[in-house]
Structure 1
Amino acid sequence: MSPPGIAILGAGIFAKETHIPALATLGEGAAELKAVYSRSEKSAKEVAQEAQELLKTTTPPAVYHDGDQNVNLDALLARSDITAVIVVLPITLQPSIILKVLAAGKHVLSEKPVAPDVAGGLKLIAEYNSVYKPKGLVWRVAENYEVEPAHLAAGKVLKSGKIGKINSYNVRVVNYVGKDSKWYNTPWRTIPDYQGGFLLDGGVHTAAILRVILPSPIVSLSGYASLNQEHLAPHDVINATTRNADGSHGLVELHFGAPVPSRSTLAGNGISVTGSDGWVFLDMVKGKDANGKVYPAVRITTRTVTRDDKGLPTGEKEEVIEERSQGVEVELKSFFAAIAGNNDGFGDPFEALKDVAFIQAGLNSNGSPVDLVKLVQQ
Structure 2
Amino acid sequence: MPAKGIAILGSGIFATEAHLPAIATLGDAIELKAVYSRSNKSASTFAQSAQDVLKLTHTPDVYHDEDPAVSLDKLLARSDIFAVIVVLPITVQPKVILKALAAGKHVLSEKPVAPDVSQGRALIKEYESKYKSHGLVWRVAENFEAEPGYRAARRAIEDGKIGKVTFYNACVVNYIDENSKWYNTPWRTVPDYQGGFLHTIASLRVVLPSALQTVSAFASLAKDILPPQDTINAIVKNADGSHGLVELTWGAPTVTRAKQAGNNITVTGTEGWLEITRASGVMRIAVHTITRDKDGKSTGETEEVIEEKEVGIQREIESFLRATDGSDDGVDDPRSTLVDVAFIEAALNSNGAPVDLVALAKV
Q: What's the TM-score once normalised by structure 1's chain length?
A: 0.94
C-alpha distance in 2, partners of 1:275/1:81?
51
Deviation, structure 1 residue 308: 2.1
Instruction: Describe how 1:105-254 pairs up with structure 2 within 5 A.
Output: 105-186=104-185, 188=186, 192=190, 196=191, 200-254=194-248
Counterpart for residue 300 of structure 1: 285
Counterpart for residue 27 of structure 2: 27
CA contact (8 A) 1:305 1:315 kept: yes
Please tell me whether residue 257 in structure 1 is matched to residue 256 in structure 2: no
The runs of 5 or more residues in structure 2 that have no matched partner are: none
C-alpha distance in 2, partners of 1:238/1:326?
27
SS in 1 for 2:225: helix
SS in 1 for 2:307: strand
SS in 2 for 1:377: coil
C-alpha distance in 2, partners of 1:309/1:79?
68
SS in 1 for 2:59: coil
Please tell me whether residue 276 in structure 1 is matched to residue 270 in structure 2: yes
For residues 149-181 of structure 1, the C-alpha deviation after alignment (integer angstroms, 9 at most, x for no partner) is 001100111122111111100110111111111
C-alpha distance in 1, partners of 2:107/2:308?
28
AA of the residue aligned to 2:275:
F
AA of the residue aligned to 2:236:
T
Q: How many residues align?
A: 363
CA contact (8 A) 1:118 1:376 kept: yes
C-alpha distance in 2, partners of 1:57/1:46?
15
Counterpart for residue 351 of structure 1: 336
Counterpart for residue 50 of structure 2: 51
Instruction: Describe how 1:95-106 pairs up with structure 2 within 5 A.
Output: 95-106=94-105
C-alpha distance in 2, partners of 1:36/1:272?
41
C-alpha distance in 1, partners of 2:293/2:103?
65
- Seen in structure 2, the aligned counterparts of structure 1 residues 183 and 86 have a Cα distance that, compared at 3 Å, is same
CA contact (8 A) 1:171 1:251 kept: yes
- Seen in structure 2, the aligned counterparts of structure 1 residues 89 and 235 have a Cα distance that, compared at 3 Å, is same
AA of the residue aligned to 1:155:
R
SS in 1 for 2:279: strand
AA of the residue aligned to 1:277:
E
CA contact (8 A) 1:274 1:280 kept: yes
The runs of 5 or more residues in structure 1 that have no matched partner are: 287-295
For residues 273-299 of structure 1, the C-alpha deviation after alignment (integer angstroms, 9 at most, x for no partner) is 00111000001122xxxxxxxxx1110
CA contact (8 A) 2:187 2:196 kept: no
SS in 2 for 1:232: coil
C-alpha distance in 2, partners of 1:165/1:344?
26
For residues 246-300 of structure 1, the C-alpha deviation after alignment (integer angstroms, 9 at most, x for no partner) is 10000000111111111111001100000111000001122xxxxxxxxx11100
C-alpha distance in 2, partners of 1:191/1:269?
20
AA of the residue aligned to 1:264:
A
Counterpart for residue 319 of structure 1: 304
Please tell me whether residue 369 in structure 1 is matched to residue 354 in structure 2: yes
For residues 32-81 of structure 1, the C-alpha deviation after alignment (integer angstroms, 9 at most, x for no partner) is 00001011111111111111111111111111111111111111111110
C-alpha distance in 2, partners of 1:34/1:122?
32
Give the RMSD, CA atoms, in angstroms.
Answer: 1.3
SS in 2 for 1:26: coil
CA contact (8 A) 1:200 1:356 kept: no
Counterpart for residue 15 of structure 1: 15
AA of the residue aligned to 1:370:
V
C-alpha distance in 2, partners of 1:174/1:2?
46
C-alpha distance in 1, partners of 2:157/2:200?
17
C-alpha distance in 1, partners of 2:351/2:184?
30
- Seen in structure 2, the aligned counterparts of structure 1 residues 191 and 67 have a Cα distance that, compared at 3 Å, is farther
CA contact (8 A) 2:188 2:194 kept: no
Q: What's the TM-score once normalised by structure 2's chain length?
A: 0.97
* Selected match of 2:260 from 256, 266, 277: 266
For residues 119-147 of structure 1, the C-alpha deviation after alignment (integer angstroms, 9 at most, x for no partner) is 10000000001111111111000000001
CA contact (8 A) 2:212 2:236 kept: yes
C-alpha distance in 2, partners of 1:229/1:189?
16
Deviation, structure 1 residue 309: 2.6
C-alpha distance in 2, partners of 1:20/1:258?
31
Deviation, structure 1 residue 3: 3.2
- Seen in structure 2, the aligned counterparts of structure 1 residues 79 and 200 have a Cα distance that, compared at 3 Å, is same
* Selected match of 2:324 from 339, 342, 348: 339
For residues 187-225 of structure 1, the C-alpha deviation after alignment (integer angstroms, 9 at most, x for no partner) is x46875xxx25x633211111111111011110000100
- Seen in structure 2, the aligned counterparts of structure 1 residues 350 and 179 have a Cα distance that, compared at 3 Å, is same
AA of the residue aligned to 1:164:
G
CA contact (8 A) 2:8 2:85 kept: yes
Counterpart for residue 4 of structure 2: 4
C-alpha distance in 1, partners of 2:224/2:109?
30
CA contact (8 A) 2:187 2:194 kept: no
